[in-house]
């Protein structure tokens, strides 16, 4: 059977539906999420450090919520999230807009969504004449 150690509490559990943490921690995380969300609703734009202090939720967990897109980094101040690809500062998700576009394009290419035709013009316009004159000069 496929078992995993929970990265939060080290309990052994069977990952279901792509879960990265055990069911106990999932519940715990939901509670923490509610706390953070409620705190931010009452204190919009609060500094990240205050949110950590007041809710007792650690920074990693809060940043994780932001990465999942459940909380916007812009809802508090001092929360810094970086693009997984280029390290640019972002406010939600995993990638900045630019890298998201790049990824979407790569994905399209991989799935064959955008089949690029080889431009025939380039082949026709080979600079034969120039090469010829260069040969004559020598």
φ, ψ of residue 73 in degrees (nearest 5): -60, -25
Closest by CA to 66, choosing from 97, 37, 86, is: 37
Decide whether 21 or 36 has the Cβ nearer to Zn ion: 21
Q: Which of 14, 49, 88, 107 binds Zn ion (CB under 5 A)?
A: 88
What the block records as the tokens of 38 is 């409620």
CA distances (Å), origin 40, targets 43, 53, 54, 81, 113: 5, 13, 10, 17, 41
Binding letters toward Zn ion, positions 6-45, x by CB under 5 A? x-xx-x----------x--x--------------------
Cα of 19 vs its chain's centroid, Å: 17
Maximum distance among all Cα pairs of the chain, rounded to whole angstroms: 82
Least distance to Zn ion, CB of residue 61, Å: 12
Tokens linked to 119: 């431009």
Closer to Zn ion by CB, 85 or 92: give it.
85
Q: Is 103 in the site for Zn ion (CB under 5 A)?
A: no
83 sits near Zn ion (criterion: CB under 5 A): yes
71 lines the binding site for Zn ion (CB under 5 A): no
Among 14, 49, 86, 131, contact with Zn ion (rule: CB under 5 A):
86
Residues contacting Zn ion: total by CB under 5 A: 12
For residue 102 the two structure tokens come to 């790049």
Of the pair 73, 96, the CB lying nearest Zn ion is at 96
Please state at what angle helix 59-67 crosses helix 48-55, rounded to 10 degrees: 120
Q: Which residues bind Zn ion (CB under 5 A)?
A: 6, 8-9, 11, 22, 25, 83, 85-86, 88, 96, 99
């Amino acid at each position: 059977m496929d078992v995993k150690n929970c990265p939060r509490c080290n309990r052994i559990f069977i990952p279901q539906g792509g879960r990265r943490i055990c069911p106990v921690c999932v519940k715990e995380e939901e509670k923490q999420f509610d706390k953070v969300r409620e705190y931010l609703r009452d204190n919009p734009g609060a500094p990240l450090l205050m949110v950590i202090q007041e809710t007792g939720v650690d920074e990693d967990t809060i940043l994780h919520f932001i990465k999942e897109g459940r909380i916007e980094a812009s809802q508090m101040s001092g929360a810094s999230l970086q693009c997984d690809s280029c390290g640019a500062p972002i406010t939600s998700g995993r990638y900045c807009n630019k890298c998201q576009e790049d990824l979407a394009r790569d994905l399209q290419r991989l799935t064959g969504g955008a089949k690029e035709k080889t431009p025939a013009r380039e082949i026709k316009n080979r600079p034969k004449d120039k090469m010829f004159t260069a040969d004559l000069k020598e």
